[in-house]
């Protein structure tokens, strides 16, 4: 009854939905990267919103002969009308914030390790071997004295070392934020009373479950 091609923006979608002449009972869409943005945005606009499980939607739409964006939209509307879907639990903005913080921390740590391994490999070419285990904090202090008398190594490795130091400093800052967030959270403090559970594991568990009532039951 109404078809429009719009940008994936809450304001644009809600404006067109309000222009629809008939009452709208429910708004539905397939789970994806923009799910949280659309779900909470349209919900704040006063619509009853449901996010549908992607595999079920894909299985239903696979029966269509011509798979286009337009036909997919019609198929999703039909699935929503019939109710043949499982709703997806939408994590809170807080949970997504914790996951983003943990993901950023992990990404910076991995990049720091990658640069350290690159430096190790280049040093071996020139017959310089580092100890098997070197802490992240002391890596720079060990490598720079080894190359200070070789102009070739200085020009090749100093930019890598500088980049690694910058990444490591940002990693340390995110690591402090993670530990601070865990220490200020009642659920994480309870989880960390379990042997072997630290702030990283506690925050990951909380961000994954994202259900305060379930936390209270499991941590009691």
Residue-wise pLDDT tens digits, 181-192: 999 988 899 999
Q: Is residue 21 part of a domain?
A: yes
The answer to whether position 215 is within a domain reads yes
Write down the pLDDT at residue 115. 95
d(CA 212, CA 193): 18
Is the same domain home to 156 and 127? Answer: yes
What is the largest distance, in Å, between two alpha-carbon atoms of the chain?
A: 79
pLDDT at 218 over 70: no
Q: Coil, strand or helix: which one is 28?
A: strand
The domain in which residue 34 lies consists of 10-82
118 & 19 share domain: no
Q: What's the pLDDT tens digit per position in 92-120?
A: 888 888 889 999 999 999 999 999 999 99
3-state DSSP assignment of residue 49: strand
**The tokens of 31 are what?**
């789970």
Is 185 a member of any domain?
yes
Residue 25 shares a structural domain with residue 116: no
With 50 as the cut, is the pLDDT of residue 71 above it?
yes
Three-class secondary structure of residue 8 per DSSP = coil
| pLDDT confidence band for 213 (50 / 70 / 90) | very low
Assess if residue 88 is contained within a domain. Answer: no
Structural domain total, the chain: 2
pTM greater than the 0.85 cutoff: no
Q: Which residues of 173-207 are buried (b: 16+ CB within 10 A; e: fewer)?
A: ebeeebeebbeebebbebbbeeeeeebeebbbbbb
- For residue 170, being part of any structural domain is answered with yes
| Residues 101 and 75 grouped into a single domain | no
**Which H or E run contains 154?**
helix 151-183
* CA dist., res. 187 & res. 81, Å (int): 39
Residue 215 — very low, low, confident or very high, per pLDDT cuts 50/70/90? very low
Does residue 2 sit within a domain?
A: no
pLDDT in tens, 3-49: 888 888 899 999 988 888 888 889 998 888 888 889 999 999 999 99
pLDDT digits (tens, 9 = 90+) for 129-143: 888 888 999 999 999
136-162 pLDDT, tens digit per residue, is 999 999 999 989 888 889 999 999 999
């Amino acid at each position: 009854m109404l078809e429009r091609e719009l940008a994936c923006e809450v304001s644009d979608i809600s404006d067109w939905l309000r222009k629809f002449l008939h009452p709208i009972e429910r708004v539905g869409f397939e789970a994806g990267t923009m799910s949280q943005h659309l779900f909470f945005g349209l919900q704040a606009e006063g619509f009853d919103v449901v996010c549908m499980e992607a595999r079920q939607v894909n299985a239903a739409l696979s029966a269509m002969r011509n798979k286009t964006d337009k036909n997919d939209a019609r198929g999703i509307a039909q699935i929503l009308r019939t109710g043949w879907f499982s709703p997806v639990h939408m994590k809170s903005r807080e949970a997504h914030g914790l996951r983003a913080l943990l993901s950023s921390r992990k990404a910076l740590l991995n990049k720091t390790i990658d640069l350290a391994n690159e430096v190790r490999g280049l040093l071996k070419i020139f017959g310089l071997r580092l100890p098997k285990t070197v802490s992240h904090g002391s890596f720079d202090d060990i490598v720079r004295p080894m190359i200070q008398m070789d102009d070739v190594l200085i020009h090749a490795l100093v930019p890598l070392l500088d980049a690694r130091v910058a990444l490591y400093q940002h990693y340390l800052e995110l690591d402090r934020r993670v530990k601070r967030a865990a220490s200020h959270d009642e659920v994480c403090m309870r989880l960390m009373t379990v042997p072997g559970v630290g702030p990283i594991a506690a925050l990951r568990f909380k961000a994954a479950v994202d259900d305060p009532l379930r936390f209270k039951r499991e941590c009691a």
